[in-house]
Amino acid sequence: MSIQGIFPIEKWDFKSESILADLPKPDLQLLMARRLEQIYKKGEIIFREETYATGTFYLVSGKAKKYKVDKDGREQIIYVANAGELLGFHAILSGDNYPDSAAVMEESLIAFIPREDFLEAIRQSDVLNRRLLKTLSHEFVVLTNNLALFAQRPVRERLALQLIVIREKYKAGAEPGMPVEINMSRDDLASLVGTARENVVRLLSGLREEGIVETKGRKIIVLDLKRLIRIANQN
């Protein structure tokens, strides 16, 4: 089922895949000329918070999470990235170290783009400049919405909303006509929602009993998207 017209996904999801989509060929060639591609196994770290930003990373296939780690070693997932998205470019633009960490959530193919190549492409490409500016502006809106979400919404609403957003991530790789399976650990889902794992397990059990979701091990299938949207207080 499509969420078009019934859920404002643009309010809650970054769109960094649009940065390179249909980029003029000379600009893309300049950016990718010295890329290094590598397969990352599930759970492998792409970069760590506060390390020097040597370049940016293009997610060719797979999924990755961006997260912060608190003083007690607990993760807070900021964002889940899909194939086609860039990771780590904020640090290059700001001239700082990486502001967060990133790790793959499943086996992924990632292209590393050296810092110098990324900066040179920005200098030469007006299109890339405009897209980066637009992306950063949109991300600010999404982050503002998420701050309000965590401050004002109960956990059940936050879980419902994140399930809707994450479902769209997994929908991109699903076979047409087949159920969309969210394949995410309960720990990662709890980190994304900003609650304890036990709360996520309990709330998912309630959603399952209501016939809104189905669970198969760690996989979650949304059965009633419209009801989930109502729980998320978005309709």
Angle (CA) 128-134-139 rounded to 5° is 125
pLDDT of residue 153: 87
Element (H, E) at 123: helix 115-124
Q: What is the pLDDT of residue 1?
A: 57
Q: What is the pLDDT of residue 143?
A: 86
Q: Which residues contact 23 (CB under 8 A, 6 or more apart)?
A: 31, 125, 127, 128, 131
Q: Report pLDDT for 234.
A: 64
Q: Count CB-CB contacts under 10 A for residue 32.
A: 16
Average pLDDT per run of 10 along the chain, which is 235 residues long? 75 79 92 96 96 96 94 88 93 95 97 96 94 90 84 90 92 77 94 94 96 94 94 77
64 contacts 104 by C-beta, under 8 angstroms: yes
Tokens of 123: 């200098």
User: What is the C-alpha to C-alpha distance for residues 84 and 61, in angstroms, rounded to an integer?
Assistant: 7
3-state per-residue secondary structure call for 170-229: HHCCCCCCCCCEEECCHHHHHHHHCCCHHHHHHHHHHHHHCCCEEEECCEEEECCHHHHH
Map out the domains of the chain with their CATH numbers: 9-148 (2.60.120.10), 154-231 (1.10.10.10)
CB of 142 closer than 8 Å to CB of 11: yes
Side-by-side strand order, sheet with 181-183: 181-183, 219-222, 213-216
CB-count burial class (<10 Å; 0-12, 13-18, 19+) for 170: buried
